[in-house]
Structures are given as C-alpha cells and as structure tokens.
Amino acid sequence: MLYQVLYKHMGPQGWWPADTKIEIMLGAILVQNTNWRNAAYAIESLKLNTSLEPQKILNLEIEVLQKIIRSSGFYKSKAQTIHALLSWLEQFDFDYEAINEHFQENLRKSLLSIKGIGSETADVLIVYIFDGIEFIPDSYTRRIYYKLGYDHTMSYEKLKKHIDLPDSFTNQDANEFHALLDNFGKEYFNGSGPHKVDFLEKYFVR
C-alpha cells in the first residue's frame, strides 16, 4: 500500500506542527489558498495579540481580527470562518470529546454546516482534532494519485469516494498518511534531487 511505501521511505512525520488543538484549527483555516509561511505569520500575530485563547479571539472586533491575520490572504473570509468555528465550539465549552459523542457519525456533516468550513478543512479537523479516521485528498495528494494512474483526481470529493482506507487504519495511521502524502508532494513537486526522481520511477510510474 502507498502508505507503507511512503512510511518506509520517509519515516514518521510528527504532524500537525502546532502546540495545541486551537492552533491546529487556526492553521487549517489560515493555510487555505496560501503557503504555510504566510499562515505561520498570521498564527504568530494571533499569538501576540490573544495568546491563542479562544475567548480572546472571539472578543476581537472582526475588523481587528482581519488585520491580525492579513498575511494569510483572503483575511476577510478567514476571519469570518475562525469566528464561526470558535463560536460553534464554544457551545460545547471546547470539549472535543463531548462534541464527538454528540454528533458521532454526523460530525463531518455538522462541521460542513459551519460557514467557511469546506471538505478538506472538515476532514483535517476530524483527524487532528477529533481523533477520527478520514482520507484527506488535498491538492498534493491528488497530484500523486494522478501520477499513480488513478481516475477522479481532479475533484476532492470524487477521489475521496474512490479511495477506501483499510479497516485496520487507526487515527494515527490517518494522521501519518496525510502528512506523508503532503510532505512528499511538497518535496517532489516543488523540490529537486535525483532521489525524488528515482523514487517516483520506482513506485509511481503508470
């Protein structure tokens, strides 16, 4: 399986790069349609202004929040999404276990109902916040699967429907698989080096 091949090649990735679940959620929103460096600048700015305390973020005027996260781009819509997600979590006192128990198999649907939360962000939250198991076919993952010869790689939802994770998959497996695919995609499609070409030829030629 691709997961085992990548894990053997790259080892554990130690994702998500954050200290708290709040930081993971903010990063998942702020990195949309930009690179991680721009998102990281916005997170650091939020740390300076709010210590990433949810209530402090919610208490900010929306215009102030927009200014703080401006480096991430699309800052107006992202500020609205941050506010909507934190307000939703606040209803459950930020008790992630209670949220899991309340929504169970409807958690993804409930996350998608939050303004600004799309399929990829919902899946990231399920895996990295709520300890669930989801396949996350982000843009790098779809490009890798295209190289493998798979169909349905132009659409997040279509590829997701056509890839079944093993029944034995754990949350840690889902975590590592997404991290491995994303990091390999960054290295292969944006990097250089003969080992990347050799690896692609060995495993990914159709």
- Nearest CA-CA partner of 78 in 64, 61, 63, 66: 66
Is the model's pTM score more than 0.95?
no
Identify the structural domains of the chain with CATH numbers, from first to last. Answer: 2-13+135-203 (no CATH), 21-128 (1.10.340.30)
Query: What's the Cα-to-Cα distance from 12 to each of 69, 119, 134, 173, 180, rounded to whole Å?
Result: 31, 25, 18, 10, 8
pLDDT digit string (tens) for the chain, length 206 residues: 889 989 988 899 988 889 999 999 999 999 999 999 999 999 999 999 999 999 999 999 999 999 999 999 999 999 999 999 999 999 999 999 999 999 999 999 999 999 999 999 999 999 999 999 999 999 999 999 998 889 999 999 999 999 999 999 999 999 999 999 999 888 888 765 545 545 655 665 54
